[in-house]
Amino acid sequence: MQNMILLPEKGGHMTTQNQIDYERIEKAIHFIRENFKSQPSLDEIAQAVHMSPFHFQRMFSDWAGVSPKKFMQYVSVTYAKSLLKERRTLMDTAYETGLSGTSRLHDLFVNIESMTPGEFKSGGADLKINYSFADSPFGQLIVASTHKGICHLSFEADEATAAEKLAERFPNAAFHQGIDQYQQDALGIFRKDWQQLDQIKLHLLGTPFQLKVWESLLKIPMGQLTTYGDIAQNINKPKAFRAVGTAVGCNPVAFLIPCHRVIQGSGDMGGYMWGTDRKSAIIGWEAAKLTARYA
């Protein structure tokens, strides 16, 4: 019997106020990234997103927890380079000792369970996958889970497109639109302190090399950055930095597996599956939250 795939109707799309607000924030961050060298004023940034300086300052501060000027420091290349310099000692120590702190996702992920070779080759045959849509600080997303854990999380504004991409990843699975406990736990990462969350379990479709890279990403603390070359060193494949970059780019679980914390050795942000402006937004948002936590 052929598996049934339940997807939203073509053109399915839901615009929420959070989505509208994030799109404004994203546009502002794009302007900041393009113009940070000239340190644009609040008035200039507000004008770029067609808002009054007063309303923009308030909306941006509510979203990020810091002023646009402070946030501009977090997303600039100069700040990225400073994070890298600080990280070299801190992260090397963390990788070697496996230390975990309150700002780490690593505590939450006891293990990553890979799909069986049969599931891998068959494109998810015999898997039943639940999926749902939700808002996040970085726009609307789709999250999906099997009976073992989260298998997919992606930022997508259009629900029909998001569901189609999920089906392409698991072409032979049976899909059902609905939220379960795995998804609720995963979505809690955007609104709760990480220490209060239940364990978030992942059930991932990937090669052994990809899984090793994704496990390595989980060890990068919030508010810190690393490079593709350093990831290659940490998985004992120092010459495989290009392959590491490919594996990072194939990460199927946005934000939870923090591939956004990997940037180029020069300090430039580098690419991101869900857009470089969103990557800058997440890096800045995490830095702002970490600063507020220890202020």
* Cβ atoms < 10 Å from Cβ of 8: 18
Burial class for 2, CB neighbours closer than 10 Å (0-12, 13-18, 19+): exposed
> d(Cα 77, Cα 121) in Å, to the nearest integer?
41
CB–CB of 150/169 below 8 Å? Answer: no
Q: Which two three-digit tokens encode residue 53? A: 């300086």
pLDDT tens-digit series, residues 220-268: 877 788 899 989 988 999 889 899 999 999 999 999 899 999 988 888 8
Full set of structural domains in the chain with CATH: 77-293 (1.10.10.10)
Burial class for 65, CB neighbours closer than 10 Å (0-12, 13-18, 19+): middle
> d(Cα 218, Cα 239) in Å, to the nearest integer?
21
Q: What three-state secondary structure class fits 52?
A: coil
What is the pLDDT averaged over residues 197-215?
A: 85
Residue-level pLDDT at 193: 54
Average pLDDT of the chain is 82
Task: Examine the residue annotation and report whether 259 is marked as an active-site residue of this protein.
Answer: yes
- Checking if the pLDDT of 2 tops 70, the result is no
CB–CB of 139/23 below 8 Å? Answer: yes
Q: Please tell me whether the overall predicted TM-score, pTM, comes out greater than 0.85 for this model.
A: no
What is the pLDDT averaged over residues 182-207?
A: 78
Q: Which two three-digit tokens encode residue 295? A: 């202020």
| Percent of the chain's residues with pLDDT above 70 | 81
What is the pLDDT averaged over residues 89-93?
A: 49
Q: What three-state secondary structure class fits 252?
A: coil
Catalytic residue among 153, 259, 263, 281: 259
In the chain, the N- to C-terminal Cα span, in Å, equals: 59
- Which residues are CB-neighbours of 96 under 8 A, at least 6 positions away? none
pLDDT tens-digit series, residues 119-177: 767 777 788 999 999 999 999 999 999 999 999 999 998 999 999 999 999 998 999 99
CB–CB of 266/85 below 8 Å? Answer: no
- Checking if the pLDDT of 42 tops 90, the result is yes
Q: Which two three-digit tokens encode residue 85? A: 């310099």
Residue-level pLDDT at 197: 58
